Amino acid sequence: MMRNKTLWGVALVALLFVGGASSVQALGLSEYQEQVDAIVIEDVDLQQVPDGRHFGTYDTNLVSAEVAVTVLNNRIHNIEILRHATGRGSSGEGVKDRVIEAQSLDVDTIARATASSKIILKAIEVALTDAKAQ
């Protein structure tokens, strides 16, 4: 009988731990979603961006990106993803090809990778905007 009570006690503690961890994770996901929803991507006038390799980063509490954007003759020549921290894979990285093709940040995000796409787009915007300011 004592053994059953001990097993029930251990099971209850484990259940409370898992439930508490799930609640903390849900709060983190909610905050993350708010951060992603608040991201506004502004297009950048490439005529104002000097030639060169420009770096930009953007971070949220769950996903971050660091990029190098190469501009040549007022055109985006290449975008390199230097770091993309995400738990869901790299499909969002395809947004860089859309930017190069459109020569604009005003592109559709990648389906099922909207958040990563937006964070990568914002890192590209930061790289181009910072280059403009120099």
Q: Is residue 30 included in any domain, yes or no? A: no
Mean pLDDT of 105-120: 94
How confident is the model over 65-75, as pLDDT tens digits? 999 999 999 99
pLDDT at residue 57 greater than cutoff 80: yes
- Output the DSSP codes for the chain: -HHHHHHHHHHHHHHHHHHHHHHHHHHHHHHHHHHHHH--PPP--GGGSPSEEEEEEEE-SS-EEEEEEEEETTEEEEEEEEEEE-SS-SGGGGHHHHHHHHTSS--PPPTT-HHHHHHHHHHHHHHHHHHHH-
Q: Is residue 20 included in any domain, yes or no? A: no
- pLDDT confidence of residue 26: 45
Q: Is residue 15 included in any domain, yes or no? A: no
Q: Is residue 75 included in any domain, yes or no? A: yes
Contacts of 103 (CB under 8 A, 6+ apart): 46, 75, 76
- In contact, 100 and 78? CB cutoff 8 Å: yes
- pLDDT confidence of residue 27: 43
**What is the extent of the structural domain holding 108?**
46-133
Q: Is residue 66 included in any domain, yes or no? A: yes
Q: Is residue 7 included in any domain, yes or no? A: no
Q: Is residue 77 included in any domain, yes or no? A: yes
Token look-up 């914002």 returns 122
Q: Is residue 118 included in any domain, yes or no? A: yes
- pLDDT confidence of residue 54: 98
Domain count, the chain: 1
Mean pLDDT of 25-43: 81
CATH number at residue 116: 3.90.1010.20
How confident is the model over 5-29, as pLDDT tens digits? 676 766 656 555 554 444 444 446 7
Provide φ and ψ at 105, rounded to 5°: -90, -5
